[in-house]
Chains A and B, each alone.
Chain A
Amino acid sequence: MRSVMTRSTIILPILLIIALVAAFLTVQPFDYLTRGVPPDESITVESVRLDDEGIHVTIRGSSAEPTVIAQVQVDGAYRFFSMSPNQSVGYLQTANINIPYPWVRGEPHHLAFVTATGQTFEHTINVAVTTPKLTMGSLLGFALIGLFVGIVPIIIGYSFYPALLSFGESGRAFAMALTIGLLAFLLVDTLGEGLEVAEKATKALHANLAVWMSALVSCLVLLNLGRRSGRPPEGAALALFIAIGIGVHNFGEGLVIGASFAVGEIALASFLVLGFALHNVSEGVAISAPIRKDAISFMTLAKLAIIAGGPAIPGTMIGAVSVSPFWTALAFGIGAGAILQVIIEVGSNVLKRRSDGTASWQSAASLWGFISGIAIMYVTAFLVSG
């Protein structure tokens, strides 16, 4: 029998699967259980754009059978609409619904989509504002927001570096512990944001699972990359990974900020951008902390600032022109994984730092650093809860 144990036997399970699928599709052995049950219909509103022509909605079908949109209500009134490619939207397919409507700037509008069986799916536009178009002016505006949210605070954070060095070994321990505290906060925050956005995505896409799984995968991939030399990354290399982790997080943050602008949910834009800037200052401290004094250079710091803060710029721009919640959730998942990876690496760095028997994490400086990291992030988070 040994002779059949060849690689070509992989064909066997594949054939079995094909046979199973074919048998079910032809015989449909369990359909009698659902006979007489009304068709399952489900859609999710993925994006809404408003312009001078009216309201433009992208929906995604999330039921096994196609959902037919028979009529559309705006603010409790049936309205003319057109739908493409047609009035039916299949499983995971998207369709566009255009509703000419004299919407009112700054006020909420309520949409209800009535299906062929009379089911309704509702969506509320909280504040109606014209969806930003990609003009040079708006691109520049969003790039500036990304700059202030991502890069500027990191550069300010760098400026703590000399002061921390002046405290010697304990200053370094403080900075490293602060980094871990900050990253711990970011990890929880990123996962939370990812799972929140995932709620808005079509159920069928299991966006919440995608957040967890993409976090695990990105963490493992980065761990693998970081330890290609066989050792955990240190110094400038560790700083690079911290920058990457923060960079992916800032990309997701940019998506959310951009999207909030697009749907008019930001009341005090300047205040919010300032809040994010202050919130993110400690990211600069975190990135610079592991770098040895002799290895630091202007170029290195500039490069790391761009890696960590730069993604906020495309993030904000992409978010403003609307991106489906699934992809935003996925971005947050990947960001969470990247942050988890640097927590592991900075943690292992802190654990083995000293050779005199005392681990650096046991010092008072480390404890206060960790607490400060979390506390700073927590308190400055008040500024961005808009």
Chain B
Amino acid sequence: MAIKHLFPLKYRLSRRGFVVTGLAAGGAFVSHASVAKNDKNMPAARPHQGRHGATQVIGKVDHARNGFDPKDILTDWETGEVTTTQDGTRVREFVITAVDKEIEIAPGVLFPAWTYNGRIPGPSFRAKEGELIRVRFSNLGSHEHTMHFHGIHSARMDGVPGAGQVAPGDSFTYEFVAKPFGCHLYHCHSFPLKRHIHKGLYGAFIIDPDPDRHPEHADVARSRLLGTPENKRWQEFVMVMNGFDTNFDDENEFYAVNSIAFAYQHDAIRIERARPVRVYLVNATEFDPINSFHLHANFFDYYDHGTTLTPTLKTVDTIMLCQAQRGILEFSFADHEPGRYMFHAHQSEFAELGWMANFEVV
């Protein structure tokens, strides 16, 4: 009897927000539909909370104290310093430092993290296929760390204990040729591995294809190569799916893309309808066998590992990735009406623990 009274029909239908996202997302997500208009308010101040409450965290993360904003992380490619040697080799050099740092991974929840350059995920490296990569890595953390790149390189450069493991206070330079092109990642490979990864030592490592090496798909390669006019048309985002085990019981309390739970849920990612979208998706989630990405009201082409110039999966709206698996998603909202379109892990558990987000299509 009481239950019926919990959901009076007029109450449900009177909420504008329900029509916008509720139909697709379910009633639990209702209150976010109108969040954009009063983002500055604390959730507690929202007048329409009602009896349903909402799936959300309360309060706001202090991005300034964290030293990074999840909104910026989407697009702030780390391109390093490029020089050309006398024999014409392009050398791309990155400088990176491991530091211990407390990160507010959800409003009011501080996580004692290990980071590359003070942020999680670490810098999103972007290089061009065939370049010589040099990564000058210093460890200012309290434990030994490495940088293990998912790419093609020699054993000496593998970034594992015995090959590029760096003691606190020391440094090491990793050197290898950027290949194969694709969407890759790097992470610390010191042991115990689980602890070193879930504490925050991972990031995206993207190698853009060199159009000259792929004449059969030169146009596609050019659209992927950062800085070309063809590439500028695209709206590109990097999204590292991750989780945080804040009580250290080998289960994550929070999930997100780019660390901050529900960050893009409250503060939707703006998309211009006319321009296509490309997402560099990396799964760095520890403890859970898989993570996933589901796009609402649309379908995408998927390039597993990003190592091909034709899709490995066409026209899907959900993909799943094991840890370290990654890929490129391409889609367009050109024919859609403007509005909020959700995307989230399609493990409802992860979604409701923070890995839930919105595109604001304009």
**From B44, B51, B353, contact of A53 by CB (8 A):** B51
State how many residues of chain A have any CB contact under 8 Å with chain B: 30
B247 touches A80 (CB 8 A): no
Chain A: CB-nearest residue to B244: A118
Q: A70-B59, A76-B353 are in contact. Are A114 and B7 (CB under 8 A)?
A: no
A114 → B minimal CB distance (Å): 6
Q: Please, what's the 1-or-0 string for A113-138, where 1 marks a CB less than 8 Å from any CB in chain B?
A: 01111111000000000100000000
Which of A73, A105, A118, A119: most chain B Cβ within 10 A?
A118
Bound: A43/B6 CA distance, A: 30
Bound: A70/B353 CA distance, A: 14
A101 touches B53 (CB 8 A): yes
A100 touches B51 (CB 8 A): yes
B111 at the A interface (CB under 8 A)? yes
Bound: A77/B110 CA distance, A: 19
Residues of B within 8 A of A82 (CB): 44
B219 at the A interface (CB under 8 A)? no
B332 at the A interface (CB under 8 A)? no
Residues of A within 8 A of B64 (CB): none
B247 touches A120 (CB 8 A): yes
**From A100, A105, A116, contact of B110 by CB (8 A):** A116
Q: Please, what's the 1-or-0 string for A24-61, where 1 marks a CB less than 8 Å from any CB in chain B?
A: 00000000000000100000000000001110000000
Bound: A82/B261 CA distance, A: 19
A81 at the B interface (CB under 8 A)? yes
Which of B101-109, B196-204, B297-305 contacts its partner?
B101-109
**From B3, B50, B51, B107, contact of A71 by CB (8 A):** B107
**From A52, A77, A80, A116, contact of B108 by CB (8 A):** A116
B167 at the A interface (CB under 8 A)? no
B230 at the A interface (CB under 8 A)? no
A118 touches B109 (CB 8 A): yes
Residues of B within 8 A of A54 (CB): 51, 53
A102 at the B interface (CB under 8 A)? yes
A79 touches B247 (CB 8 A): no
Q: Please, what's the 1-or-0 string for B1-39, where 1 marks a CB less than 8 Å from any CB in chain A?
A: 011011100000000000000000000100100000000
B53 touches A80 (CB 8 A): yes
Q: Please, what's the 1-or-0 string for B235-265, where 1 marks a CB less than 8 Å from any CB in chain A?
A: 0000000001011000001000000011000
Interface positions of B from 75 to 122, Cβ below 8 Å from A: 106-112
Bound: A70/B59 CA distance, A: 8
Bound: A87/B44 CA distance, A: 12
Bound: A79/B53 CA distance, A: 7
Residues of B within 8 A of A76 (CB): 349, 352-353
A68 at the B interface (CB under 8 A)? yes
Residues of B within 8 A of A38 (CB): 112
Residues of A within 8 A of B31 (CB): 80
B55 at the A interface (CB under 8 A)? yes
A102 touches B7 (CB 8 A): yes
A99 at the B interface (CB under 8 A)? yes
Q: A70-B107, A78-B352, A79-B55 are in contact. Are A52 and B247 (CB under 8 A)?
A: no
Bound: A37/B57 CA distance, A: 27
B51 touches A117 (CB 8 A): no
Interface positions of B from 26 to 76, Cβ below 8 Å from A: 28, 31, 43-44, 49-59
Bound: A79/B244 CA distance, A: 18
Residues of A within 8 A of B55 (CB): 77-79
**From A77, A79, A118, A130, contact of B111 by CB (8 A):** A118
Which of A53, A71, A73, A105: most chain B Cβ within 10 A?
A71
B2 touches A119 (CB 8 A): no
A97 → B minimal CB distance (Å): 11
Q: A70-B108, A114-B246, A118-B244 are in contact. Are A80 and B6 (CB under 8 A)?
A: no
Bound: A81/B107 CA distance, A: 13
A118 touches B108 (CB 8 A): no
Residues of A within 8 A of B28 (CB): 77
B51 touches A80 (CB 8 A): no
B349 touches A78 (CB 8 A): no
B130 at the A interface (CB under 8 A)? no
Chain B: CB-nearest residue to A100: B53
Chain A: CB-nearest residue to B2: A130
B354 at the A interface (CB under 8 A)? yes
A15 at the B interface (CB under 8 A)? no
A80 touches B56 (CB 8 A): yes
**From A80, A87, A105, contact of B2 by CB (8 A):** A105
Chain A: CB-nearest residue to B56: A80
Q: Please, what's the 1-or-0 string for B340-352, where 1 marks a CB less than 8 Å from any CB in chain A?
A: 0000000001001
Q: A76-B349, A80-B49 are in contact. Are A105 and B3 (CB under 8 A)?
A: yes
| Contact surface of B with A, Cβ cutoff 8 Å | 2-3, 5-7, 28, 31, 43-44, 49-59, 106-112, 244, 246-247, 253, 261-262, 349, 352-354
Closest 4 CB pairs of A and B: A118-B246, A77-B352, A100-B53, A70-B108
- 6 A-B pairs (CB sep. < 8 Å): A52-B6, A78-B106, A78-B353, A105-B3, A118-B111, A120-B246
Q: A70-B108, A77-B353, A81-B58 known; 14 other A-B pairs, CB under 8 Å?
A: A52-B5, A52-B51, A71-B108, A78-B56, A78-B354, A79-B54, A80-B54, A100-B53, A102-B51, A116-B108, A116-B109, A118-B244, A118-B246, A118-B253
